[in-house]
């Protein structure tokens, strides 16, 4: 019975990863809600039956569950005296409504309670999906299928986006191209969200290509070519023998990120490449060759499409940065009025028109273009402080995991596929956590699902490495 349950949940995970980007990244509320309910039902049922076989730690289950519960509580209706005690500015608004309408209304901390409650259910579904994925990654066969699936999905989105660059009249699926025509977006409407999605995919494609190496075949190929034959020639021959599809797929994904014209996506892409090549235990000669080959590929194929629009985007960098900085400063007034409780998840778009002074009436900023600032406004300072502490603690632990992998394996030929996937996942998470400083990329469900999947890879890898939170000091 348990074997059938595990196979079923693995199929659900692969199906989710394959389909969630296709319909505009599942950003439509109906599609978004369908995926949330599906993950909640399937992964929740699996956890009920497999509870004894799943490690539910405080840092990976109970603390996130408590945070989700607090988000749900902001949607509860409260009487006016309680609301006055918790958030005086909200009570003042209610008093004005009572004077105007002649009735005594009751409301919640959240300015839009249904959306806050939905985000709580959505977060619970993602949490259950995370634990189901961690358990599924125990299977080496599932990991192999998973890496191939991510590679194929990323390649499809990349090729679709590059076709949009060649023919600006092509939009995402059946939509007309009216948002940033001529830039790569694939099936996703906004190019910034598209760029982050590909930055989450291509490191796993590289990990797949590296995992296709057979260490014995590599050593034999070097011996057959003689002692004077360079190791680089052997590596290149093996790359085109087994790793051609994943490596070429990753290259096209990187090219599509460039032609998305997302400045945040391109900057984080550069950081991910540098971090990834540094983490991989390869010789400097091989790393330099990798950069040269990638540069030749990007210049060769990119020259066909033209880099003029990309360069012009960066020439406008100062104006774009100034506009966003002004938006962030204007948004801080919401935070000052709701310092402790926040405005509730999803509330920014509903009260931004009231608080954003100096913005023309014809312009509606439904996002702060900074996920951390928007979460701070929606969650409040205490809850956001807990979230940041939890995230920082987890990232430090993952960084120590990378150090342990590099120390224990020493060579890429000694690494298991899960180790390679973990290095790729950690590098991709660099984009996942840095890009949100300048764009609303977390609001796309596809990015959240893929980002949580990367975290699941790292969590599954930790089971093979004892990663202490504090380094033990030696005693004399």
The token duo for 467 is 């990663």
Q: Is 299 exposed, middle or buried (0-12, 13-18, 19+ CB in 10 A)?
A: exposed
Helix (H, G, I), strand (E, B) or coil at 16: helix
Q: Which residue has the tokens 């998305």?
A: 260
Q: Output b/e per residue, 195-211; b: 16+ Cβ within 10 A.
A: bbbbbbbbbbbbbbbbb
Q: Where are the alpha helices (DSSP H) in 28-139?
A: 29-49, 63-73, 80-86, 88-101, 113-136
Is residue 291 within 8 Å of residue 277, measured between CB atoms?
yes
391 Cβ contact partners less than 8 Å away, ≥ 6 residues apart: 433
The alpha carbons of the chain give a radius of gyration, in whole angstroms, of 24
Name the residue among 136, 135, 155 with its Cα closest to residue 146: 136
At 181 the pLDDT is 80
At 293 the pLDDT is 86
At 215 the pLDDT is 58
Print pLDDT tens along the chain (476 aa).
577 888 999 999 999 999 999 999 999 999 999 999 999 999 999 998 888 777 788 888 999 999 999 999 999 888 778 888 888 887 777 777 677 665 556 678 888 889 999 999 999 999 999 999 999 998 899 999 999 999 999 999 999 999 999 988 888 988 876 777 888 999 999 999 999 999 999 999 999 998 887 655 555 555 554 444 455 555 556 556 667 889 999 999 999 999 999 999 999 999 999 999 999 888 888 888 888 888 898 888 888 878 888 888 887 776 777 888 888 988 898 999 889 999 999 889 888 888 887 665 555 678 888 999 999 999 999 999 999 999 999 999 999 888 888 887 777 777 888 999 999 999 999 999 999 999 999 999 999 999 999 999 999 998 766 555 444 443 43
Q: Which residue has the tokens 């949330």?
A: 36
Q: Is the pTM of this model over 0.85?
A: yes
361 Cβ contact partners less than 8 Å away, ≥ 6 residues apart: none
15 DSSP β-pair partners: none
């Amino acid at each position: 019975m348990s074997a059938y349950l595990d196979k079923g949940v693995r199929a659900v995970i692969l199906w989710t990863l394959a389909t969630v980007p296709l319909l505009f990244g599942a950003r439509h509320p109906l599609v978004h809600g369908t995926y949330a309910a599906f993950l909640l039902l399937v992964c929740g049922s699996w956890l009920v039956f497999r509870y004894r076989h799943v490690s539910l730690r405080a840092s990976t289950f109970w603390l996130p569950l408590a945070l989700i519960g607090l988000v749900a509580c902001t949607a509860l209706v409260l009487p006016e005296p309680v609301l006055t005690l918790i958030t005086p500015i909200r009570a003042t608004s209610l008093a004005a409504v009572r004077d105007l309408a002649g009735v005594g209304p009751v409301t919640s901390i959240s300015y839009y309670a249904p959306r806050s409650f939905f985000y709580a259910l959505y977060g619970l579904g993602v949490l259950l999906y995370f634990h189901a994925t961690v358990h599924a990654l125990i299977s080496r066969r599932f990991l192999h299928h998973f890496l191939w699936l991510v590679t194929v999905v990323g390649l499809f989105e990349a090729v679709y986006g590059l076709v949009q660059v060649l023919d600006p009249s092509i939009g995402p699926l059946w939509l007309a191209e009216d948002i940033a025509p001529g830039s790569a977006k694939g099936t996703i409407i906004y190019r910034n969200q598209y760029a982050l999605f590909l930055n989450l995919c291509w490191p796993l494609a590289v990990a797949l290509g590296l995992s296709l190496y057979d260490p014995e075949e590599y050593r034999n190929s070097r011996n057959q070519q003689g002692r004077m034959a360079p190791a680089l020639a052997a590596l290149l021959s093996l790359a085109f023998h087994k790793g051609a599809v994943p490596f070429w797929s990753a290259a096209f994904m990187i090219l599509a990120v460039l032609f998305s014209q997302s400045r945040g996506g391109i900057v984080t892409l550069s950081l991910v490449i540098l971090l990834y090549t540094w983490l991989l235990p390869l010789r400097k000669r091989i790393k330099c060759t990798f950069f040269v080959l990638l540069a030749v590929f990007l210049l060769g194929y990119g020259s066909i499409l033209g880099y003029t629009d990309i360069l012009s985007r960066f020439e406008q960098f100062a104006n774009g940065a100034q506009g966003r900085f002004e938006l962030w400063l204007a948004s801080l007034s919401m935070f000052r009025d709701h310092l402790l409780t926040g405005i509730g998840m999803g509330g920014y778009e509903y009260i931004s028109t009231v608080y954003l002074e100096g913005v023309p009436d014809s312009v509606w900023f439904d996002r702060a273009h900074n996920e951390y600032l928007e979460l701070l406004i929606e969650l409040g300072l205490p809850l956001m402080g807990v979230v940041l502490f939890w995230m920082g603690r987890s990232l430090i632990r993952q960084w120590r995991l990378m150090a342990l992998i590099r120390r224990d394996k020493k060579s890429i030929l000694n690494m298991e596929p899960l180790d390679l996937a973990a290095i790729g996942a950690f590098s991709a998470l660099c984009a996942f956590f840095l890009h949100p400083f300048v764009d609303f990329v977390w609001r796309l469900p596809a990015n959240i699902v893929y980002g949580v999947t990367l975290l699941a890879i790292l969590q599954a890898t930790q089971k093979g490495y004892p990663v202490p939170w504090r380094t033990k000091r030696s005693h004399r």
